[in-house]
Amino acid sequence: MIGVRLQRAEDEALVRGQGRFTADLHPAGCLHAVFYRSEQARVRLTRLETNRARKRPGVRAVFTGEDLSGMRLPQINPVLPQVEYVPPELLPCREIGAVGTPIALIVAEQLPIACDALAEIDARFDDADMQPRHHAQGEWRTEGFELACAEAKHTVSLEVQTPLLAPCSLEPRSVVAEYLPEEKLRVTLGTQSPHRNAKVLAEVLGLNPEQVHLVAPNVGGSFGMKASLYPEDYLIAWAAWRLRASVRWEATRLEEMLSGSHGRGGRLQGTLALNSEGRFLALQAQVEAPLGTWLPYSALVPAWNAGRILPGPYRVDAVHVTTQAKERPTAPVGIYRGAGRPEAALLMERLVEKAAQVCGMDALELRRINLHRSSDFPIARATGVVLDSGNYEEALERMRQASAELRGWRDLQRESGRLAGVGLSLFIEPSGQGWEQAEVCLLSDGTFEAATGSTDQGQGRSTAFSQIVAAVLNVPAEQVRVMHGDTQTAPEGIGALASRSTPIGGTALFQAASQLLEQASSEVARWEGVPVHRIRCAKEGLVCDQKVLTWPELAMRLKRSGAPRVLSARARFEAPGEAWGFGGCAVSVQIDSETGEVLPHQVIFLDDSGVVVNPMLQEGQILGGLVQGLGEGLMEEMHYDEQHQPLTTSFMSYALPRADNVPQLRLLHMATPSPWNPLGTKGVGEAGTIGLPPALSNAVHDALAPLKIENLNMPFTSERIWRSIQKARTRELGQ
Ligand code: SMO
């Protein structure tokens, strides 16, 4: 079952339109909520008149910040050592930092009534001299850093910026909160982290954890933006509690662009010092990641990740890395597929490429001599990370061979006078820390139930998890029903974040299934009067000598009273460390010198995510990540003007990649098992978004090298490229 391309069990319901998403939920008598949002940034609220809205027939309540006074405010994950954080109010009543900030909540019997009431709210603003309230930073520095720099023969420096992106999950955020008898609240929410968010929600609402039941039904994509709770989530739950009613809210796409979290938007500076042979002696890097005015729980993770992952797959003994997260007057900024990993890879791979030019060395050879050797793992690094396993040299060699034809293609293009380039990148991908829990049960009909604290947003997790349990129990995957996303039926877990689901969540299931097998085996051994090691787990069931006991027979025999679960085992897996995937990407591009359009020709992507549970799902993850990486590289960007007005708030103005933007893709695989989980698995969900942008950037710079164009930032839109070509030509004419 491990390594099998099993079809996704999830798909039939989803393609038949039988998926159940949050917005499909319409509890009887449910009230509808809309938010009145600020149209300006950095302003003081001087008047907020809600009486007329409140008096409209059908409006049940209009809430403002005053109604919330004394409410507890959510905290953030302090992954960086120095954090200044002033928890923002859920509905600010004085100063407003960003456009789109909710300042009033209208609850009505029907959605159109709530929408009409919005127009009756009278809010006035004055410009405010608002200072940023949030800031965080961290620093890692090895001893002997100056000494190493002093020995350098060459140094190269550069700065890269990554575009601010909108994660754009297909399903916009939505929340349905139901007030239940006996002082309970059921909150249905497309979240990546049901247990954690149930706890946080209870804390903020001042409830006991057992009063909040959180359910994540089908979720239509998340990419990090549905990891943490937003003001809207707290407020809908609070309103349901306060009104003792059910309340629902669905974000429009406009609201998603205005108040869903953005990702990336970082600025990174680096200096790499090399000796005369091209050995990397020292890396100095400064990472700056943006924050919005509202901070999701994981807001500091990109800054932390980008810093600690440096210097990527290379051995650099002396490092000085500083990282900081700084507030800007925008929508929340947080984790987005990759969450700091793509930024680190971009800085490093651009530096390496530039260093090769400065040293006059082949860029692949320069990479090769500086990679960590496979015999050196596990490798503890200055930024506090420990790389568990890898074979970076082989990855590079495979990429060298595979990309040879791209270089041949480029040379042919150039001979016929076209602008063409090839770029390469290597990357590493941490796949999460901490623990997950699982419970595996044998049901009275001989099938199995596997409950996980992890969750699914469309990745096909139920299929992969059923394969893991089926592999242990030697049964077909269809016999295993996976349950997740409901805090009442799933054991507590952290959730689907940071590519951790298979290595950590999957391992917890593996362990629970193994324990269940042990329990079942000892039952059989007891019945047969033999030691437990005489029991074998075969396809037919448990075998003692020649005697077979099928799972349904076993279940029948163990069945007591009417309980559906006849045996159950729970496990909690705490990862001893992070499993680090790695890989490489090569991209070839052609650039239309008249329009500046970048036309990707081919992408070759190598991934090593350890042992793969389902290669089809793994490929799906890589493809999706690659396309999002192309989006970042070629077209996506959130634009704000000088007044901090967001300009890209719909799919008319925010460019998402489409099928016809995707070039030929070729996937290569390696599998270096992680020693830190019994399955040997690693994460893969973020690989494409990490590896593609630096390779694309190197390819675009390679294509433009004949024009002496350097240091362009993504997205490589035709406008940006065309302008740089015009500038280069003017410069040439001038000379
Ligand atoms: S960007 Mo991920 O959901 O940790």
CA gap 162, 347 in Å, rounded: 10
pLDDT, position 563: 85
Q: Which class for 444: exposed (0-12), middle (13-18), buried (19 or more C-beta within 10 A)?
A: middle
Answer yes or no: is pLDDT of 560 > 90.
no
Q: Residue 454 C-alpha to ligand 1 middle, in angstroms? A: 13
pLDDT, position 562: 80
Answer yes or no: is pLDDT of 525 > 90.
yes
Q: Is the CB of 339 under 6 A from ligand 1?
A: yes
Helix (H) or strand (E) holding 567: strand 565-574
381, HSE (Cβ side, Cα atoms, 13 Å): 26
Pocket test for ligand 1, best of 193, 219, 228, 497 (most atoms within 8 A of CB): 497
Tokens found for residue 613: 């549970």
**What value does the mean pLDDT take over residues 132-145?**
96
Q: Residue 439 C-alpha to ligand 1 middle, in angstroms? A: 24
Q: Ligand 1, residue 498: give the atom nearest the CA.
A: 4
Q: Residue 57 C-alpha to ligand 1 middle, in angstroms? A: 43
pLDDT, position 69: 87
Residue 291 near residue 327 (C-beta atoms within 8 A): yes
**What value does the mean pLDDT take over residues 217-246?**
97
Q: Is the CB of 498 under 6 A from ligand 1?
A: yes
**What phi, psi does 44 have (nearest 5°)?**
-105, 135
Q: Ligand 1, residue 432: give the atom nearest the CA.
A: 4
Q: Residue 453 C-alpha to ligand 1 middle, in angstroms? A: 16
Cβ atoms < 10 Å from Cβ of 433: 15
CA nearest ligand 1 atom 3, residue: 224
Q: Report how many helices (DSSP H) and strands (DSSP E) the chain contains, helices first.
A: 17, 31
Which of 464, 32, 459, 563 has its CA nearest to residue 245?
Answer: 32
State how far Cα 517 lies from the chain centre.
Answer: 34
* Average pLDDT of the residues of the chain: 97
Pocket test for ligand 1, best of 77, 337, 433 (most atoms within 8 A of CB): 337
The tens digit of pLDDT for each residue in 693-727 reads 999 999 999 999 999 999 999 999 999 999 999 99
∠ CA 155-161-163, nearest 5°, is: 160
Q: Ligand 1, residue 496: give the atom nearest the CA.
A: 3
Q: Residue 186 C-alpha to ligand 1 middle, in angstroms? A: 25
pLDDT, position 169: 95
**What value does the mean pLDDT take over residues 662-682?**
97
Answer yes or no: is pLDDT of 580 > 90.
yes
Q: Is the CB of 121 under 6 A from ligand 1?
A: no
Residue 694 near residue 345 (C-beta atoms within 8 A): yes
Which of 107, 105, 70 has its CA nearest to residue 89?
Answer: 70
The tens digit of pLDDT for each residue in 68-109 reads 988 899 999 999 999 999 999 999 999 999 999 999 999 999
Percent share of the chain, pLDDT over 70:
100
The tens digit of pLDDT for each residue in 54-71 reads 999 999 999 999 999 888
Q: Is the CB of 330 under 6 A from ligand 1?
A: no
pLDDT, position 539: 96
Q: Ligand 1, residue 222: give the atom nearest the CA.
A: 3
Confidence of residue 732 (pLDDT cuts 50, 70, 90): confident
Confidence of residue 734 (pLDDT cuts 50, 70, 90): confident
pLDDT, position 143: 92
One-letter amino acid at 244 equals R
Tokens found for residue 554: 């076993």
The tens digit of pLDDT for each residue in 261-299 reads 999 999 999 999 999 999 999 999 999 999 999 999 999
Q: Is the CB of 335 under 6 A from ligand 1?
A: yes
Q: Ligand 1, residue 685: give the atom nearest the CA.
A: 2
β-partners of residue 450 are 440, 482
Sheet order of strands, 535-538 included: 535-538, 541-544, 547-549
Answer yes or no: is pLDDT of 216 > 90.
yes
